[in-house]
Amino acid sequence: MRTVADLRRALIEETAELESRVELAGVRRLAQRRRLAKAGAAAAAAVVALVLALYAATGARSGIPEPLASDSAHPLPNVPLHVHPSFPSVGQVIGTGVPVGPGQEFVLRFTEGPTLVGGLLDTRTGVVRDLSVAYDASPDPRRGGGFQSLGQLVDRSGGVIEYGLYIGTVSRIVVDSGIGRYPAQLAHWSQDPRYTVFWVDHRGTPVEAGVTNRPVDSNAHQPTAYAYDRAEHQAGTTSGRLFIRTDLDINLSNAAPLGASIDTGVPLPDGGTLLFWFVGGDGSAILKAGSRGATGQVTEIRELLTIPVPPSAIGFYRGMTDLPGRNGTHIMVGQYVGPAAKVVAGAPGGNVTSGFAHWSAHPEMIVYWAANVTEYAQTAAIAYDSTQHVIGAYSYGTR
Amino acid sequence: MDEEFADFMRQCATRLHRVAYLLTADSGQAEELTQDALARTYAAWRRIRNDDAYAYARRVLVNLHTDWWRARRWRERLVAQVPERSGGTDVAVATAQRHALARALQGLTRRERAVIVHRYFLDLTEQQTARELGVSVGTVKSTASRALAKLRISPDLEPDSPTGLVVTEGSS
């Protein structure tokens, strides 16, 4: 078993030979570029302020472009919103009114940074699940204002939602999907109206199908967004930039079960018994744990692990999941992928029971568990082949 | 000003680079992160030069890393690891295990790595770590606990406890 002192030594040794090659000249150049970018942004803001003043003074009779587009934010359901506690919203959550599957609506919000993140709002409970890619919404000094973040998700009814952020004055935004041109809905961030988010929901196919957020086909058509000012001059385009799929993990989480569920018979504090099942597709799967009640109803407890499908035969997965058992005990759950015929888990204590099961979809994946564990850090597991020879071992740790 | 900042860089750039490397696990990104943090520190130099400039630069670096993480994050997946073989306590084994530990660090999520780096490389308290990362103390505790478990490190062990697996062939 390793100690914290081992860890400290490893951290120091890992970096002992590293020397910074950063030079003062490079730091100065970068600082200067950042200063210029800031000055440019400030100058742009001053121009906007001047335009606003002129516009107010002339009552728009002079034909000066309107600085801000109308706001298409959709009223949110009348329930308290619950966002990720580590990423609280800055400003108001923006409702789009676009449904994504039953009982869910696509929303956009800013978090500290500012960072733009899309989410799926459960319209009944108010829980917002963040999409898997969040965007730094600070103006990119290389581009100044204009289009910043570009995301895409499927709406689960045969359509695709494109969304993103534009910084600056814009009257309208159009998204060209390759099949048609669609006017986007616009809304402004409550903290800074120069930040305009846009979205459009249209029939079409998503740009990617993989789970790694990389385009599966570099020749696949990428949507392009165009921004126009009030004088109908093109103010910006996303041409040459990618819209990134941001809903893949959330989709995976809601995917259909793969293979049979694994009933362990281990009693849980809620009166049910522990079971496991896999959901997934597209080359990945998530292992979930749940409780099966007396009536057979299943309540999900939590997601345990995301794995590639088919699983790689790498032996024991590092770490175990600690689930609450009855009477303050622990249920330790681990995974193994390989040629083992069985895996036996154990821990100190006369009441400890253990079990394992092969996943029916990929029998090389074994889920194992130890229940009634008190000294959870001493949980360990042994893998045996069909002739009862030990072919692997894993120790969660010692106390 | 430049001479003073150059002195600061000579003293601190490598320390910052090492923190950046542990946070990013990528030497190129670490270089970029260090340069960006130093550029922002340079811009604020008149204001912070008489304070703890290293702490300021480190905070900037960590915040930039957090922003990168948020800007590019997607769910990080657990990776599998070949089971360790039980080992003795000689220097070679201990060194090999420390190297394995360094490799295992790459398997942590960014947040877990950030907490580990703050707690055990920078030796910050849980409260200081929480403040630096902008998360609650509870999050620091749970994240550190999870990360240590992944690295199979017991926070309760005495520093010089022998290394090696408890499970041996034939036990159950």
pLDDT at B92 over 50: no
Residue B100 has a pLDDT of 60
What is the Cα–Cα distance from A201 to A199, expressed in whole angstroms?
A: 7
Our count of domains for chain B comes to 2
Interface of A with B in 291-310 (CB under 8 A): 305-307
Residues of A in contact with B157 (CB under 8 A): 1-4, 398
Do the chains contact at A1 and B71, CB–CB below 8 Å?
Answer: no
pTM: 0.43
The 3-state DSSP class for residue B163 equals coil
The pLDDT tens digits for B129-157 are 887 777 778 888 888 888 888 777 655 43
pLDDT at B164 over 50: no
Residues of B in contact with A319 (CB under 8 A): 78, 149-150
Any idea what DSSP says for residue A301?
E
Residues of A in contact with B45 (CB under 8 A): none
Residue B54: which CATH number?
1.10.1740
What is the Cα–Cα distance from B108 to A319, expressed in whole angstroms?
A: 11
Residues of A in contact with B171 (CB under 8 A): 346, 380, 382
Alpha-carbon distances of A95 from A77, A148, A262, B130, rounded to whole Å: 9, 20, 39, 32
B13 shares its domain with B66? yes
B61 shares its domain with B119? no
The 3-state DSSP class for residue A6 equals helix
Residue of B nearest to A22 (CA): B35
* Position B27 in a domain: yes
On the question of a cis peptide bond just before residue A77, with omega within 30 degrees of 0, the verdict is no
The 3-state DSSP class for residue B43 equals helix
B62 shares its domain with B113? no
pLDDT at B107 over 90: no
Q: What is the distance in angstroms between the Cα of B104 and the nearest Cα belonging to chain A?
A: 10
Residue B169 has a pLDDT of 24
Q: Which of A148, A141, A144 is nearest to A32 (CA)?
A: A141
How many other CB atoms are there within 10 angstroms of residue A72's CB atom?
Answer: 18
In residues, how long is chain B?
172
Rg (chain B; Cα; Å): 19
Buried b (16+ CB within 10 A) or exposed e, B50-83: eeebeebbbbbbbbbbbbbbbbebbbebbebbeb
Q: Do residues A98 and A121 touch, judged by C-beta distance below 8 A?
A: no
pLDDT at B2 over 60: yes
Interface of A with B in 135-194 (CB under 8 A): 135-136, 138
Residue of B nearest to A378 (CA): B166
* Position B79 in a domain: no
Q: Residue A193 burial (CB < 10 Å; 0-12/13-18/19+)?
A: middle
Last residue of a domain, one of B72, B102, B122: B72
Interface of A with B in 20-79 (CB under 8 A): 20-22, 24, 26-28, 30-31, 34-35
Alpha-carbon distances of B2 from A24, A249, B7, rounded to whole Å: 8, 48, 9
Tokens representing A379 are 């949980």
Q: Do residues A89 and A97 touch, judged by C-beta distance below 8 A?
A: no
Do the chains contact at A6 and B97, CB–CB below 8 Å?
Answer: yes
Do the chains contact at B102 and A13, CB–CB below 8 Å?
Answer: yes
If you count DSSP H runs as helices and E runs as strands, how many of each does chain B have, helices first? Answer: 8, 0
Averaged over successive runs of 10 residues, the pLDDT of chain A (399 residues) comes to: 74 80 82 66 50 40 42 85 81 93 91 84 89 59 72 85 91 87 92 92 68 41 86 86 73 79 95 93 78 91 76 78 90 92 92 95 95 88 93 73
Do the chains contact at B152 and A111, CB–CB below 8 Å?
Answer: no
Reported ipTM: 0.72
Q: What is the distance in angstroms between the Cα of B50 and the nearest Cα belonging to chain A?
A: 20
Residue A366 has a pLDDT of 96
pLDDT at B68 over 90: no
The 3-state DSSP class for residue A210 equals coil
Tokens representing A141 are 């000094």
Which residues, 6 or more positions from B70, have their beta carbon under 8 angstroms from its beta carbon?
Answer: A87, A111, A113, A115, A134, A136
Domain span at B28:
2-72
B30 shares its domain with B65? yes
Alpha-carbon distances of A343 from A176, A354, A381, B115, rounded to whole Å: 54, 9, 7, 33
The 3-state DSSP class for residue A54 equals helix
Give the start-to-end residue ranges of the domains of chain A. 94-250, 255-395
Residue-by-residue DSSP string for A330-369: EEEEEEEESS-SEEEEE-SSTT-EEEEEE-SSSTTEEEEE
Do the chains contact at B2 and A396, CB–CB below 8 Å?
Answer: no
The pLDDT tens digits for B4-22 are 899 899 889 999 999 998 8
Q: Which of A260, A308, A321 is nearest to A280 (CA)?
A: A308
Do the chains contact at A249 and B43, CB–CB below 8 Å?
Answer: no
Residue B119: which CATH number?
1.10.10.10
- Count residue pairs from A and B with Cβ separation < 8 A: 218
Last residue of a domain, one of B21, B37, B72: B72
What is the Cα–Cα distance from A184 to A167, expressed in whole angstroms?
A: 15
Q: Which of A300, A313, A165 is nearest to A241 (CA)?
A: A165
Of B13, B101, B135, nearest to A20 by CB-CB distance is B13
Task: Say which range, A13-27, B42-56, B67-81, has the weakest mean pLDDT.
Answer: B67-81
What is the Cα–Cα distance from A91 to A223, expressed in whole angstroms?
A: 29
* Position B107 in a domain: yes
